[in-house]
Each structure stands twice: as C-alpha cells, then as structure tokens.
Amino acid sequence: MDRRSFLAAVGLVGGCFSVPGIGATERRTTSLSASVLIVGGGTGGVAAALAACRAGQRVVLTEETLWIGGQFTSQAVPPDEHPWIEEAGCTRSYRQFRDEVRQRFLRDFPLNAASRSAARVNPGGGWVSRLCHEPRLALAVLESLLAPHIANGRLTILLGHRPVAASVRGDRIESVVFEEVTGGRRRTVSAPWVLEATELGDLLPLAGVEHVTGAESRSETGEPSAPELADPLDQQAITWCFALEHHAGQNHVLQRPDDYARWRDYVPTMTPPWPGRLFAWEHAHPVTLKSRSLPFDPVGEGAFPNLWTYRRIRDASRFQDPRSHPSVCLVNWPQNDHWLAPLVGPGVSLEQRRQREAEAKALSRSLIYWLQTEAPRPDGGTGWPGLKPSAGILGTSDGFALAPYIRESRRIRAKFTVTERHVSTEVRKMETGATAETVRATPFPDSVGVGAYRIDLHPSTRARNYVDVSSLPFQIPLGALLPRRVENLIAAGKCLGVTHIANGCYRLHPVEWNIGEAAGALAAFCLDRKRTPAEVYAKSDLTAEFQKRLRDDGFELEWQVPIRPL
C-alpha cells in the first residue's frame, strides 16, 4: 500500500492531516488555533502530541518533511538505546512503540518460521541496536498511534511546513507563521502553549527566545571536556544517511560524481589528528582517538565486526524468499560524517544551511561511488560494483534519507542546565567519593524521566575530534525544559537546557521521546490546572502533582533496575 492509500485508509486525508496537494479543506485554511502547538514532528514532537492528545487537548503538530518521526524515519537512524531498554529506562508509550514495531514486522512481512519464532526479534539484525528496522515500519507505527487522535478531531498535522515567523507579546508567543516547503503558502497557528521540537531549534530565533549554539567554555560550565573558549560555531557533524543493497555479479556503479576526487583525497585536519584519508577503513577510535579499522564486506555477512551489518535494517535471512527482500545496510559511518561547517549560529543564513546540507549529501554520494569502485576488499581487490542504493526503503528514489541526521540543536537558556558534571562517571566519582559500583548521576528532585547513553560527540565543525566520555544513567530535570524568560514555550526535543557536552548523551531516540512526551504532558497539565510551567517548576506541591500524573501515564522518574556506568 502506498503512502496516500495508507493515509486514506486510516482517515488521515482531507482536513485533519495536511499534505501539500492533498485535502481541499486544509488548502483553503489560512489560520488555525489549538490548545497546544508543537513545532516539529520528529521523535520528540510525535511523543509530545501523543501526551497532549491523550490528556484531551487540541493539538496542531507541524513537520518540515513529509514524514513524522525524525531520527526514526526521515533521518533513517536505527534507534540508539541503552542496554536496559528491554526491561526499563523508557516511558510506557515508547515501549508500546517498540513492541508494535516488532508485532508489525512479524505480522506484515513474509518471514520464515525461524524468524517468526524468535524471541524479541531484531528485524534487521544490526548490532548497533536490538531493534534495527526499516524507517517505513517506524512511520507506520507512529501514524497508527496518532490516528485515533486525528479521527476524533484532537490532532491536526501539517506536513511540509516550516516556521518562518512568530508573533510575540512581552514574554509570550502568541502565534507562529508556517510556510509550505513546496508552494510557499503560509498558515498562522495560534495557541496558548507552544512546544519547540524542530531538529535545529528553528523557532527560538524567530521568537526571540534566549538560546545558545555550539560549545560553551570550560570556565562557564566547569566541564573538563569543554573547550577553553566558547565557540557558537563549534557543532557536531551531521550525516546524510543512505541505504545499500548488494547484488553479486551485477553492476550498479553510479556515474562518477563531479566532486568525487575532492572527497576521495580528503584528509581531515583535526585535533587530535585523524589517521589518514576520510575514505578508508581506518578512522579515529571515538574513545582512545587512536587509529582503528572496522572491516566492510557485503558478501561475508556472518563476519563480526562488519560495517555491512552494523546498522543493517533488513536481514534477507529472515524472509521466505531472500531474493525478493535483499539485505539492506544503513550507512551512518565516520566516512560520511560532514563537519566542514555548522548549520546554525551567528552569521549562518538559511541559504548557507541548505548548501551545507547539500554538501553532506554530496559526500555520501561520493562514498557510494568509492565503495563501488575503489574501496579495499578483504580478498585484496577493490570495490563492489554490485552495491546499489536501495530505492524506496527510505522514502526516496535514490536511496537517501529524506533529511540529514542532526545531532545538535540550538539550545534554550534554561531555568536549569545539565552539564557534564551531572552525568560523567569520573567527575561524579571525584566529587562524591563513590566507587565504580556505587557512583550515580546527580539526582534531580524535579525529574520528568530517565535516559542513558555515553557522552558521545562526533567530530566538530572546528576540527575537534571525537569526545566520548563514560557517563551514568541519568534523570531529565523539568527545569531543563523551561526557558528562563518566555512563559509559554516548552522544549520538546534536543533544544532543552543541556550543554554542548551533555547534549552528547541527551540526544538519542528514547531520551528525545521522553523529553517530548514530558513536554506535551506539562502543557496539558498547565491547561488543566491553569498554571504556568514556571509555577509547576517553582512550587514543590505542583511539581509532585505533575510527577504523579507522569507516573500514572507510565513514566519512569528514577531508574528501577540495577545500573552501571556506560
């Protein structure tokens, strides 16, 4: 079933679910109002919509691409999760999402008997995650979770819309203007509560919300991993992911890209140094920064480690007819990280951002050609001409994701900012005197959720190599979701109050989901109680009441299983 047929089948076409060119009612609309406006339909935005709609609020959710889901879907990144995810460490709705991905895979795909009987099946069999799967599968599950709220009139989704202006009075955002990405038509959406869930914090400058980009200084944050000087243009690499199949004996070599020689011969200049060319199997180890090699072999799939299976999202061996469902490798590797220039910050225009995104895609296209023609093979030869971009699996005809993978957003100047000192294993041991067995992250009495991941920063736009630091399973503080000044804005994604360093462990799928769901629940709570987020944060009785509501909704506010440093 194609996307339009699916939307029609579940009642998402025609007024409630706006797709450019679909739905005559929505095409005539120039203004909308709701109780909650969620700007950005990525992982956090979808979770926020679920929470607010579940609480009975009317919600408008906007998304710049034509797929909701962000990291899961339009950016095509298999979920990066902590080792306890099957038992604990996420919200009930996130667990429902994961369960339904598995159930749909077992129900809707022509699998063999061994796959159908597997416990906790990993659809793609990738070893980066226990749940590597096709983005279209995640998209179908997310749409099914939202469908009842669209059907009952609580939720309106505007796809292909980006924010371009905001109306602000005093310390409140009154409305936001959105423009269709294709066509240029504009819509104004007004709401008493506005949630920021875009991939790059795009609403913050439009509404004059105080925020930071790039790296804070060590003197400001007290973080041992922070640079000596603040640099708003020091930001993590982005990656334009793509999907590959391999057809032995066939020739699918692309036309040589015009800029191929540039990327093939590019040697990163970094501190500490990169080991050689970017297009090579040797790269800097994220933790030690010493040279390491990860092999790639689409023929010897059983070998480990193997970049071919690292982020594999389809495993042919699970299907009744492997030839009709070839294995698919999702390429999100060091070799296609793009760190030459930032996407946001002082002096960076939208036109420059688009040019840099296009350059990231060009880098990935040249990587495909290198893999097909010049990449060293284990047998001593070069290139795999049978490698082929997997059309359609990522929603595009060329095998590329709909949008680049964004690791770092603009971040609000928050009522509370999480730093490396709150989560770093070594810093917490030093400051508390705890042992490796007893050390814990800083506890937050205003916790609205939990998460866990290493502090993992990819090479930066200022030629800084990886920063990869052991961290502790942590809590998400309510104060990090609230701007210092603006009263009716809530962070619902990666724009929350974390530093450049702490962002490295707060940016992953289950954490972004928890942040967004907590933001949606907070907006609904404030509407019900006629209170502001600042009051909920400042008054301990209101904080406790809100936390009880979160627990009733299936949130974990503290870790409920034995944990260890990561």
What's the CA gap between 403 and 67, in Å, rounded?
Answer: 10
SS3 409: coil
At residue 324, the pLDDT reads 87
* CATH number, span 1-113+138-233+408-415+480-545: 3.50.50.60
Torsion, Cα 132 134 135 141, to 10 degrees, reads -90
- What's the confidence (pLDDT) of residue 13? 34
CB-based contacts of 296: which residues, under 8 Å, 6+ apart?
281, 306, 307, 308, 371, 375
Q: What is the pLDDT, as a whole number, of residue 117?
A: 84
For 273-313, the three-class secondary structure string (H helix, E strand, C coil) is CCCCCCCCCEEECCCCCCEEECCCCCCCCCCCCCHHHHCEE
Return the pLDDT at 12: 39
Which segments of the chain have a pLDDT < 50? 1-29
Which ranges in the chain are annotated with CATH 3.50.50.60?
1-113+138-233+408-415+480-545
The whole-model pTM stands at 0.92
pLDDT of residue 305: 82
Distance from C-alpha of 331 to C-alpha of 313, rounded to nearest angstrom: 10
What was the pLDDT predicted at 300? 75
